[in-house]
């Protein structure tokens, strides 16, 4: 770690944080490695322990390190769960496995999937959802399905699906939390809406308070928001799902042809 110079105008806490960050980025401190204690950092830099604690807080806010109660502070480890955009909605895979897209991709990556449908309600759609479904947000109603997704019992994302009532009414989509073999897209296909095209709009932001609590978000970690729209063989949108994914536990992998 660098020694301070007479021209170094950084506050001591910032200098410690910068040095530790460089060590992490260079691989000198690898994922899972324990950081020096506050006492050791204070002695190394000739500062108070509070200054060392502030430096570690800076790194926590950046999502680089995590504190484990009674054990110390460690470089964050991440095992991103890849969202496989090219084939996650494959009808062939769904028919072969009887699984939902999430369960297919988690299983393929050697992890154990679990999903919880926490509510099925009738609601008015948010304006951006209504726009993508081509319905009137003030007049139309939708079926709202809230699902939470886990890999190895760790919460990794939440998805809220909106289905026009005239599509879902009279089917399990409107009433049942468990949708059976093939899950939601098999039920859509039974209703005459076979998924043939998708649109996914991707953005990143910091999490809301309820997302921090529900997903167990560490400080400084953003979420990836995916606004997914499904289209059937008549090119009609029949469902929109807003996925909110932990940025430290998820990645996106899209393999697609390039247009001329």
- DSSP calls for 133-156: HT--TTT--EEEEEEEEEETTEEE
Is 215 contained in some domain? Answer: yes
Residue where one domain finishes, among candidates 54, 75, 96: 75
Residue where one domain finishes, among candidates 56, 75, 94: 75
Is 2 contained in some domain? Answer: no
DSSP 4: P
Is 1 contained in some domain? Answer: no
- The Cα–Cα gap between 42 and 187 comes to 61
Q: Which residues of the chain have pLDDT under 70?
A: 1-6
> What is the pLDDT at residue 61?
82
Residue where one domain finishes, among candidates 59, 75, 91: 75
Residue 44 sits in a domain of what CATH number? 1.10.10.10
Token pair, residue 124, equals: 């008015």
Residue 224 sits in a domain of what CATH number? 3.40.1410.10
Helix (H, G, I), strand (E, B) or coil at 185: helix
The radius of gyration of the chain from alpha carbons, rounded to an integer in Å, stands at 23
Is 7 contained in some domain? Answer: no
Q: Are residues 51 and 122 in the same domain?
A: no
Q: Are residues 165 and 52 in the same domain?
A: no
Q: Which residues contact 47 (CB under 8 A, 6 or more apart)?
A: 12, 13, 16, 41
DSSP 116: E
Is 88 contained in some domain? Answer: yes
Q: Are residues 29 and 150 in the same domain?
A: no
> What is the pLDDT at residue 3?
55
Residue 213 burial (CB < 10 Å; 0-12/13-18/19+)? exposed
Is 206 contained in some domain? Answer: yes
Q: Are residues 62 and 113 in the same domain?
A: no
DSSP 106: H
Q: Are residues 102 and 202 in the same domain?
A: yes
- The Cα–Cα gap between 81 and 99 comes to 17
Is 234 contained in some domain? Answer: yes
Q: Kindly report the length of the chain.
A: 260
Q: Are residues 177 and 92 in the same domain?
A: yes
Stated pTM of the model:
0.80
> What is the pLDDT at residue 229?
97
Q: Are residues 159 and 37 in the same domain?
A: no
Q: Are residues 30 and 87 in the same domain?
A: no
Q: Are residues 32 and 142 in the same domain?
A: no
Token pair, residue 40, equals: 């050791």
Question: Over the chain, what is the mean pLDDT?
Answer: 91
Q: Are residues 59 and 103 in the same domain?
A: no
> What is the pLDDT at residue 68?
86
Token pair, residue 214, equals: 């529900």
Domain count, the chain: 2
Query: For the residues of 49-70, what is the DSSP string, one character each?
Result: HHHHHHHHHHHHHTTSEEEETT
> Residue 172: which domain range?
81-253
Q: Are residues 85 and 173 in the same domain?
A: yes
- The Cα–Cα gap between 15 and 45 comes to 9
Count of alpha carbons within 13 Å of 144, Cβ hemisphere only? 15
Residue 230 burial (CB < 10 Å; 0-12/13-18/19+)? buried
Residue 227 burial (CB < 10 Å; 0-12/13-18/19+)? middle
Token pair, residue 233, equals: 């063989």
Q: Are residues 171 and 68 in the same domain?
A: no
């Amino acid at each position: 770690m660098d020694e301070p110079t007479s021209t170094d105008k950084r506050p001591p806490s910032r200098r410690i944080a910068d040095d530790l960050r460089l060590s992490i980025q260079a691989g000198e401190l690898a994922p899972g490695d324990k950081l020096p204690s506050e006492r050791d950092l204070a002695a190394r830099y000739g500062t108070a322990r509070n200054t060392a604690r502030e430096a570690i807080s800076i790194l926590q806010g950046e999502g680089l390190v995590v504190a484990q109660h009674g054990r110390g502070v460690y470089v964050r480890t991440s095992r991103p769960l890849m969202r496989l955009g090219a084939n996650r909605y494959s009808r062939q895979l769904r028919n072969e496995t009887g699984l939902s897209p999430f369960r297919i991709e988690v299983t393929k990556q050697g992890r154990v999937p679990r999903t919880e449908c926490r509510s099925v309600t009738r609601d008015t759609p948010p304006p951006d959802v209504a726009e993508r479904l081509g319905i009137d947000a003030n007049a139309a109603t939708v079926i709202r399905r809230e699902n939470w997704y886990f890999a190895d019992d760790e919460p990794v994302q939440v998805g809220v699906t909106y289905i026009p009532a005239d599509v879902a009414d009279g089917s399990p989509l409107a009433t049942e939390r468990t949708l059976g073999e093939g899950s939601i897209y098999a039920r859509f296909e039974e209703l005459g809406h076979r998924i043939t095209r998708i649109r996914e709009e991707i953005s990143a932001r910091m999490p809301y308070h309820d997302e921090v609590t529900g997903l167990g978000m560490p400080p400084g970690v953003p979420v990836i928001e995916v606004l997914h729209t499904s289209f059937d063989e008549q090119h009609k949108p029949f469902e929109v799902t807003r996925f909110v994914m932990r940025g430290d536990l998820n990645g996106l992998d899209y393999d697609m042809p390039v247009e001329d």
